[in-house]
Amino acid sequence: MDLWNGEALVDAPEVTEFLHEQLGREPSLAALSEVEYQPRTTNEIGTIFRAVWAPTGESVVVKLNATPIELDWMLEVSRRAPELVPQVYASGRRLGAVDLGWLVLRRAPHCIDFGCPDDCRELMFAAARFQQVACDIDKVTYPPIDAAFFEWCMPEAIKAACPGPAEEVLARLHDDLRWVDEQSPRVRSHGDVYFDNVLSEIPGGPLLLIDPTPRTANWAWDAAYAQVLSGKESTPRLVPLLSEARHSLGLPTGHPATLERLETILLAWSSMLWWGIKPVRRTDPWFARRVRRNLERCVSAPPG
Ligand SMILES: Nc1ncnc2c1ncn2[C@@H]1O[C@H](COP(=O)(O)OP(=O)(O)O)[C@@H](O)[C@H]1O
Ligand SMILES: [Mg+2]
């Protein structure tokens, strides 16, 4: 059976058999016991197993199908800021005869409530800390969040009847982007900060980021990205929280007077991204209203 469907490992018992075969062959996996497949709950790309790290009895997670960029970044971040990601017990780029990235991470079973202001503040602190650590990590990243990125996703949103003045947001993209870039230089960031990619080992414990998709973007992009993805009315405004977090770490955020304009533009862009690439969200009336409002706000002021 082909375990690979072109994008992810297939969600089938054969994948578990494959991992069990590798336990006896790959020395770094020999320490695993009680390996148990975790069926997918969302459209994750990774294949997740629970297991026990036999030498210490600690609970771990094995992720198959980690990308080479993810592996590099998890290892670098865990070396420089071990408090920011789950402990990495082992990792590799091949398994058996297959080019397949894998990670063994300490299990962090608790999620956050993205309607809770304290949880969101902590999440934005973790995002800021990641940006701080990422400054010095000179590893390959995914393509930047730049004009080309939006010239790809905005037409997707428009084709899918994005609510609000979507054509206008695209038409002024270059002027707005020039203004955004003038406010603060782009930074390397986690790139997929949202509520499924943040965990903690104990309820209310320190937050740990997983699944980095490092990209260069305006510092506030991580917050605007998570805000639109949250889908909750009660999620507080994340851009000001990320700004506070960066400030507390001594990182620049541009002039405070421009923060609201920056937030408005990035929320419009993030709205078009998520409208374009997440068809399931389009039937949610709250989301559609939110997207329309974000786009209307963006075009209510002259470009830039
Ligand atoms: N260290 C961990 N501890 C507990 N659960 C984890 C851990 N790593 C991943 N998971 C679970 O598996 C899911 C998918 O993992 P993730 O690395 O985000 O993969 P994907 O690339 O598929 O999004 C996470 O949202 C989380 O529920
Ligand atoms: Mg993920």
256 has pLDDT over 80: yes
Question: What pLDDT sits at residue 96?
Answer: 84
Residue 276: pLDDT over 70: yes
Predicted local confidence at residue 154, as pLDDT: 98
Mean confidence (pLDDT) of the chain: 93
**Which pLDDT does position 14 carry in this prediction?**
77
With a 6 Å cutoff on the Cβ, whether 61 touches ligand 1 is yes
Residue 120 CA to ligand 1 centre (angstroms): 19
- Residue 241 or residue 230, greater confidence: 241
Model confidence band, residue 188 (pLDDT cutoffs 50, 70, 90): very high
Q: Which of the residue ranges 173-177, 188-192, 229-233, 243-247 would you say has the lowest mean pLDDT? A: 229-233
Rounded Cα–Cα distance for residues 227 and 175 (Å)? 23
Average confidence (pLDDT) over 109-137: 96
Of 275, 201, 187, 265, nearest in space to 231 by CA: 275
Ligand 1: residue of 64, 211, 229 to mutate (most ligand atoms within 8 A of CB) is 211
* pLDDT score at 39: 76
Ligand 1 in contact with 3 (CB < 6 A)?
Answer: no
**Mean pLDDT within 11-32:** 84
CB 130 within 8 A of CB 190: yes
- pTM, two decimals, is 0.95
Contacts (Cβ under 8 Å, ≥6 apart) of 51: 32, 33, 34, 35, 36, 59, 60, 61, 62, 104
According to the model, what pLDDT value does residue 232 have?
85
What pLDDT does residue 261 have?
97
Query: What are the backbone dihedrals phi and psi of residue 178, each rounded to the nearest 5 degrees, phi first?
Result: -60, -45
* Residue 42 pLDDT class (50, 70, 90 cuts): low
Q: Is the pLDDT of residue 1 over 60?
A: no
Nearest alpha carbon, ligand 1 atom 11: 48
105: which strand partners? 61, 88
User: What pLDDT is recorded for position 22?
Assistant: 87
Q: What is the architecture of the domain spanning 117-299?
A: Alpha-Beta Complex (3.90)
Is the minimum distance from the CB of 164 to ligand 1 under 6 angstroms? no
Gap between the Cα atoms of 297 and 304, Å rounded = 13
User: Which of ligand 1's atoms lies nearest the C-alpha of 208?
Assistant: 1
Structural class in CATH, domain 13-106: alpha beta
The closest ligand to the CA of 47 turns out to be 1
Residue 197 Cβ contacting ligand 1 at under 6 Å: yes
The predicted model gives 28-38 an average pLDDT of 90
Can you give the pLDDT at residue 208?
98
According to the model, what pLDDT value does residue 199 have?
Answer: 97
Query: Over 90: is that where the pLDDT of 237 sits?
Result: yes
Which pLDDT score is estimated for 231? 79
Cα–Cα dist 44/199, whole Å = 15
pLDDT tens sequence across 65-74: 899 999 999 9
**How is the chain split into domains, by residue range?**
13-106, 117-299
Q: Indicate whether residue 8 lines ligand 1 (CB < 6 A).
A: no
Q: Is the pLDDT of residue 219 over 90?
A: yes
* pLDDT score at 304: 67
Q: Which strand (E) or helix (H) includes residue 59?
A: strand 58-66
How far is 55 from 249, CA to CA, in rounded Å?
Answer: 37
Reply yes or no on whether the pLDDT at 183 is more than 70: yes
